[in-house]
Structure 1
């Protein structure tokens, strides 16, 4: 073997290695681009599709199934659009609200409970709300997680009971047989669909909601002496848990934090105490987080002064039987689906919070 032949072989070897390296780099770059493209599409795909007209923010047709939507006194079109989207009647609140803005004359809505379908086009939903046949007489459908104030507005609209009468009756919680020391109806008005008589009084309507909540507590085995505490925890679970399947984990986080002496630091309690609980925003303001009121668990140790909303059966059941687990953090990472990530360390929680920030960036105007 001579030097020339060795040199030629060496050059071919270097060329081969350079080609191989180039191919590897190309594969890596393509893989990176694919991964980046996949990530971008996962975050911004729906918005891109809608912008280019590949998908619509509205359903087609007259819908399927059935549900009940409540319009309360004083609600404007934007409020009604949000309620329809939350109930799954329309695909997005934007589609329905834009339809309202396109009408030649301003649309007037009569307060009350309406029989609706799921996945209706915005036009079909608007037509249904304008049809008197769909208005349900003396019926109130109360969703989980509403406050006393919101619940009374719904009962007033659905049952045709003057709101002033309901508020006056609610001023005396002891009249409804609540445990000694309970100073508010908050948490004690069970969310469900109720049918009332035409002559039902405000006090009678409230009593029925309270009696139903007590019945549920009895069925689930809640100890009578700790029912206010159970409802307080359940109200936090109801407002914080995005999906019913996550309720037990949220209840466990509450128990773990209380047991370790940590501040609960639940945004729902800070927002309630500061009066921001109806804003529909996942983030609390600095003012709300710092305000020293009895419900703010960012400032005060232990549970808030009382319930912050009316919890449903699933939230109460979760509090009474939370699963084993070492989670001390959780955060919603998709506000459309309610998906949350539960963590045991600050590092894990920070990573999950970063996921939420990314989702919010890709979905402006959706509660972030």
Structure 2
């Protein structure tokens, strides 16, 4: 092969190589373009062609999940929450279903118990079933301690108890004065409903504001509120509504003559024997600032969260000369009031005799 023939062969080889490279580049570009287009529009194409669906078919539902619906949220907000929680496959599918409903669907605020991978229709049906909706509320009975109250608030709101305990540390953040050492007594007992967006601080603030409102209604000056709540808290724990004003009178009468209050409820509170019927010797002798057997005067602060009736009694004691009271026979919560120690000891023995004769009474 002469030189010219070899040069022509090299040129031909270069042209073939260039052609192959161009072809490969074109194919690669098309593939890249195709990948780009599919990544952006593949789902819509698949839906349009019927190759896939944007909804689950309920054949493989998963674990229970909770979805919160807040006041003021609209359908698109709820659809997004359902998709984020893995309940529905796409928010679009649920939104389209909502738009097709006549009349328009309304959702109650609260926490819904649903399942992963539900069809939009199944999710909607579940959200219309009241059994799947947990209303955010708590009923706080009179006489609970702060710990018991926070536990109920945690159960009713779904917020961890630890968050309530942390929020309750500093009473001043709720507008109370520096002289208030604890929120004990300041959490007004009632039934409350909560919005899902409320925090532990928000909920505690709600209870405190109600207690302040009640004290304002009774005209209690700010400087007297802690004292009034302390008396009311003892009244609340020592008896039933019918005897509240009489218990209040005994407290003030003993304070007047510088006599130890000697209230079991305060001794139990200070020693941690909440809810006990008979006080232990340890509780009665424990040297803590709530023990009114050991220390004269009122305890250092409230021992429970009193209700309206107990506060009323603390402000309006009965007009009598009673100095003592003890449970009366019968087990109905009634009390026997007396004016001197001898009568009081006789009333105690009468009650002990009844307890011995009725061992199933619980006393």
Normalising by structure 1, what TM-score? 0.61
1:260 aligns with 2:257: yes
Aligned to 1:315: 310
RMSD between aligned residues: 1.8
Question: Aligned match of 1:250 in 243, 247, 250?
Answer: 247
Relative to 1, partners in 2 of residues 1:332 and 1:169: Cα closer, same or farther, differing over 3 Å?
same
CA–CA distance in 2 between the matches of 1:312 and 1:167?
22
Aligned residues: 235
Checking the alignment, whether the CA contact within 8 Å between 1:295 and 1:305 is kept in structure 2 is: yes
SS of equivalent to 1:246? helix
Checking the alignment, whether the CA contact within 8 Å between 2:290 and 2:301 is kept in structure 1 is: yes
1:197 aligns with 2:195: yes
CA–CA distance in 1 between the matches of 2:196 and 2:327?
43
1:219 aligns with 2:189: no
CA–CA distance in 2 between the matches of 1:149 and 1:293?
19
Deviation at 1:233, TM superposition (A): 0.4
**Equivalent runs, 1:104-253 vs 2, <5 Å:** 133=131, 137-240=135-238, 242-253=239-250
Aligned to 1:302: 297
Aligned to 1:284: 279
Deviation at 1:325, TM superposition (A): 0.6
CA–CA distance in 1 between the matches of 2:360 and 2:289?
31
CA–CA distance in 1 between the matches of 2:349 and 2:164?
44
SS of equivalent to 1:191? coil
CA–CA distance in 2 between the matches of 1:358 and 1:136?
48
Checking the alignment, whether the CA contact within 8 Å between 2:268 and 2:276 is kept in structure 1 is: no
Q: Which runs of 5+ in 2 are unaligned?
A: 1-129
Checking the alignment, whether the CA contact within 8 Å between 1:174 and 1:183 is kept in structure 2 is: no
Question: Which structure: larger Rg?
Answer: 2
Deviation at 1:222, TM superposition (A): 1.4
Checking the alignment, whether the CA contact within 8 Å between 2:185 and 2:229 is kept in structure 1 is: yes
CA–CA distance in 2 between the matches of 1:189 and 1:134?
30
SS of equivalent to 2:192? strand
Relative to 1, partners in 2 of residues 1:153 and 1:261: Cα closer, same or farther, differing over 3 Å?
same
**Equivalent runs, 1:335-350 vs 2, <5 Å:** 336-350=331-345
Normalising by structure 2, what TM-score? 0.62
Relative to 1, partners in 2 of residues 1:147 and 1:365: Cα closer, same or farther, differing over 3 Å?
farther
Checking the alignment, whether the CA contact within 8 Å between 2:233 and 2:303 is kept in structure 1 is: yes
Aligned to 1:14: none
Relative to 1, partners in 2 of residues 1:287 and 1:135: Cα closer, same or farther, differing over 3 Å?
farther
Q: Deviations over 1:160-208 (max 9, x none)?
A: 1111111110111111111221110000000000000111100000000
Checking the alignment, whether the CA contact within 8 Å between 1:341 and 1:352 is kept in structure 2 is: yes
Deviation at 1:330, TM superposition (A): 0.4
Deviation at 1:247, TM superposition (A): 0.0
1:354 aligns with 2:352: no
CA–CA distance in 1 between the matches of 2:132 and 2:251?
42
SS of equivalent to 2:236? helix
